[in-house]
Structure 1
């Protein structure tokens, strides 16, 4: 897959970004290109180097070699100028359990030397409202559900206007309702023009949220680009034909140069499938089948799935939990 258009304005860009811990290379020469305004899904199995990369982007960890730019400025050299424009939720939120949600946010805001005490109350209230926690502002944090804690972490990231949100596994450990809530919030951030960088190993999260993706495997970036381009890079997908005339249908497909799959289980006895070739259009296949007298009861072209592409690139399975 080709990388993003270098002429486009980038929110995040790295060149040869590498991190070694002794003899172990956790991140190996990563070249990221995250367009401004994108919802970028940073994918990979646990342990593939996603969080280490994020920590280097935020200046929490110094790279062994390579360079990183965030919002057009080098990191960590421009840390003080960049971080006030970036909201982050990395490795889960941590709050004082016996302070209320509002008190926790006020405490975090007071620790930010760029924040104004005069507008603190209004900004905390607005952040709580944005994530749907106004009703729980006075509740102690230890009484919050996991989903509420994740939303409180997002509220903390939104106390000041942000151009970039960096979210590391934002739906990790959430129940389906909590997952839907966080997804809805991320969509609303993107609708406001904020660039969102989402690290995840959940396929459903990426498919429902992201406009662009990058795939990590064993510390290396093995692919990146638009979500649609990522799907297309797996080929044109597959064609499936439902018919009682399987032998005849297979013969027609063979004449067109379309190699049908081997016959599957008993449940597939009325269906034949094949990889969709680049030089044959679906309409031509249907015309040929009908002309040959094949009784076509169903015809479908199925695009390559994200899971299929991920396995092809990394050799590992994907967590497909919703």
Structure 2
């Protein structure tokens, strides 16, 4: 589905109030009979951000987006978009929002350009005199100028995705909502969509991107929320999400020094249990000794104490928890990290 609602106000002229948040929800809930699909979530999407809505398939992402855009009725909770209550002010908000939800849908026997012209004509506030220029500009932005005259039924899945994004960009938008925007794209197309999303954010547009691909979120987004089984289990800037994980001190030393090194780490890092300091066997005469860092123990102190204890420090590093490790720890589920 790819559509933008008509309304009695033009984007930019609608008097939408200023707010630090482009999307805000409190206790947003959706039930389908006895099934709880979205479990009272609190979303906070800063204006001007590229916000990643991350979670395994079936975690409630698309259902949440459908409620935000008035395509599904919430069972409970409150929503605000661009500073206005939803769905009360749906007619004022949606002209400033472009969306690509659950894949694009086009008339197959019409060309890509003709499809966009029809969608634009359905928008009562899109100026007719600049329609063709705006359609051509949108096609150019998503890299479909050369294929604009081809019938939509001949488009690949990736081309249809880009045509759907072009539809969301026909008019200036304050907020763009994209559900799995790189689905079906080849590596070059994926890079182009990433670049497009960054350029939209640079122009001041807030971009809300739903994805189950961790690598896409890491490369495109400034902020993210992690969904699992209908609930948000983490939310914030990417740096804040990374900081929520543990860091490990990882030492490479000789076999003969491994036990001494482990004893030093236990003492400095307050690890009473032997299992909290790991000794990994490596080929030859080397061992890897590691432990979770304590926040009050600087790495340089550890290295100094190791040297003073006579340990041969062949290598030392602080390994921070990756976003992948962090998210798996939060959700108990894996994410696709490669295409």
State whether structure 2 residue 206 is matched by structure 1 residue 195: yes
Q: Is the 8 A contact 2:49 2:223 kept in 1?
A: yes
Q: Is the 8 A contact 2:266 2:277 kept in 1?
A: no
Residues 165-174 or 264-273, more deviating: 264-273
Matches of 1:297 and 1:136, distance apart in 2: 57
Residues 261-270 or 300-309, more deviating: 261-270
Matches of 2:322 and 2:158, distance apart in 1: 29
Question: Aligned-pair distance for 1:266?
Answer: 4.3
Matches of 1:65 and 1:226, distance apart in 2: 27
Cα distance change on mapping 1:68 and 1:256 into 2, 3 Å: same
Cα distance change on mapping 1:230 and 1:267 into 2, 3 Å: farther
State whether structure 2 residue 138 is matched by structure 1 residue 127: yes
Matches of 1:8 and 1:277, distance apart in 2: 39
Which residue is equivalent to 1:257?
A: 269
Which residue is equivalent to 2:232?
A: 221
Which residue is equivalent to 2:318?
A: 301
Q: Which runs of 5+ in 1 are unaligned?
A: 1-6
Question: Aligned-pair distance for 1:290?
Answer: 2.1
Matches of 1:219 and 1:107, distance apart in 2: 36
Question: Aligned-pair distance for 1:8?
Answer: 6.9
Which residue is equivalent to 1:243?
A: 253
Q: Tell me the TM-score normalised to structure 2 length.
A: 0.88
Q: Is the 8 A contact 1:241 1:272 kept in 2?
A: yes
1:118 to 121, 129, 148: 129
Q: Is the 8 A contact 1:40 1:196 kept in 2?
A: yes
Q: Which runs of 5+ in 2 are unaligned?
A: 1-17
Matches of 2:238 and 2:283, distance apart in 1: 32
Which residue is equivalent to 1:4?
A: none
Which residue is equivalent to 2:55?
A: 44
Matches of 1:20 and 1:253, distance apart in 2: 50
Q: Runs of 4+ in structure 1 displaced over 4 angstroms? A: 265-269
Which residue is equivalent to 2:7?
A: none
Question: Aligned-pair distance for 1:227?
Answer: 0.9
Which residue is equivalent to 1:275?
A: 292
Matches of 1:39 and 1:115, distance apart in 2: 26
Provide Cα deviations, 1:244-294, integer angstroms capped at 9, x if missing partner: 232232222122126454334646953222111111011111111222232
Matches of 1:294 and 1:177, distance apart in 2: 49
Cα distance change on mapping 1:172 and 1:256 into 2, 3 Å: same
Which residue is equivalent to 1:59?
A: 70
State whether structure 2 residue 26 is matched by structure 1 residue 15: yes
Matches of 1:273 and 1:115, distance apart in 2: 61
State whether structure 2 residue 186 is matched by structure 1 residue 175: yes
SS in 1 for 2:23: strand
Q: Tell me the TM-score normalised to structure 1 length.
A: 0.92
Please list, as runs of the form range in 1=range in 2, the aligned pairs for 1:71-150 lying within 5 A after superposition.
71-150=82-161
Question: Aligned-pair distance for 1:12?
Answer: 0.2
Aligned residues: 315
